[in-house]
Amino acid sequence: MFINCNGKLLSLEKPIVMGIINLTPDSFYENSRKLTEKKLLGTCEKMLYEGAEIIDIGGYSSRPGAPLVNEEEEARRTLKSIALLHNHFKEIILSIDTTRNNIARQAIENGAAIINDISAGEDDFQMLTTAASLQVPLIMMHKKGTPQTMQQLTNYEDVTEEVLEYFAAKLISPPSLNIHDIIIDVGFGFAKNTTQNYQLLSALDRFKIFQKPIMVGLSRKKMIQNVIQSDAGNALNGTSAAHTISLLKGANILRVHDVKEAIECIKIVGMLN
């Protein structure tokens, strides 16, 4: 299994790690915020050294209750940083975490190679055609509502069945059929309560039916904090446990704050195969 990242083939035959770099002042995990050029370059260098294959850049926090950020501010936060990283680390594969078609297009022009859209094209209907025209991979995530409303939208008869149905419909839509590489993300923490998150984690292997790479984004999230009765800063051990489960269930990409520890999870689980 490979994805084509602007001409560079990235193998997913073994699980890989995506490192998170937030260019926001309000991301839920304080240590992930990199608001100076020095911190940005230093963090990226460390993540690459520790084994990250992809670096995900975001300029708009999607944590529950996060304030709205206009398009101009999101562009200001992300585009120059993407160009800086692309020019500084020649072989880097960058992902832009955005729901806005215009931001995604400009990010690709500045050196990004993957679009990570938490709305799967629902927030900006041009996103799917943009990903298809640019011939770059698109990460599609399941969510309902917005960061301001999603915690009130957790009513499901069966969360796993509804998320499976969502992707079944999404992947056969005409715009999606023209996208070269699609990665699916069940959206841990987005319009799901703690119990629903673990129901999805337990059933993650069912999403292999789509024959698409599966990305997991659960690093230090409330679904872990709530169980171990901790905060984001002390949720690394719980995160590693959840990562191990997700790998056993078929995850191909771990989107993480802590690259070294995620790589160790992949190495341990790899010994079972």
Fold (topology level) of 13-270: TIM Barrel (3.20.20)
pLDDT tens for 20-51 read 999 877 565 556 555 688 889 999 999 999 99
Give 122-186 as a DSSP string.
SS-TTHHHHHHHHT--EEEE---S-TTTGGG----S-HHHHHHHHHHHHHTSHHHHT-S-EEEE-
pLDDT at 27: 60
196 in Cβ contact with 159 (< 8 Å): yes
- pTM of the predicted model, to two decimals? 0.93
pLDDT at 158: 97
Cα distance between residue 231 and residue 212, in whole Å = 33
pLDDT tens for 237-268 read 999 999 999 999 999 999 999 999 999 999 99
pLDDT at 68: 75
Cα distance between residue 222 and residue 86, in whole Å = 32
Q: Compute the Cα dihedral for 183, 189, 193, 194 and give only its sign.
A: positive
Q: Which residues of the chain have pLDDT under 50?
A: none
Cα distance between residue 201 and residue 221, in whole Å = 13
> Is 14 noted as a catalytic residue in this protein?
no
Token readout for 16 is: 């890989």
The rounded radius of gyration (Å) of the Cα atoms in the chain is 17
Which of 265, 240, 161 has the alpha carbon at shortest distance from 207? 161
* Residue 267 main-chain phi, psi, to 5 deg: -65, -45
If residue 263 lies in a helix (H) or strand (E), which one and from where to where? helix 259-270
With 0-12 / 13-18 / 19 or more C-beta atoms within 10 angstroms meaning exposed / middle / buried, residue 162 is middle
Q: Tell me the residue ranges of DSSP E strands in the chain.
A: 2-5, 8-11, 16-22, 54-58, 94-97, 114-117, 138-141, 182-185, 214-216, 253-256
DSSP state of 249: T
Q: Which residues pair with 8 in a beta bridge?
A: 5
Where do the structural domains in the chain lie, given as residue ranges? 13-270
Cα distance between residue 132 and residue 23, in whole Å = 26
CA dihedral 241, 193, 190, 244 (to 10 degrees): 10
* Angle in degrees, CA 189, 193, 194, rounded to 5: 90
Select which of 144, 221, 222, 249 is catalytic.
Answer: 221
> Is 260 noted as a catalytic residue in this protein?
no
The amino acid present at 104, given as its one-letter code, is: A
* Longest distance between any two alpha carbons in the chain, whole Å: 49
pLDDT at 34: 56
Token readout for 158 is: 């069966």
Select which of 77, 100, 192, 255 is catalytic.
Answer: 255
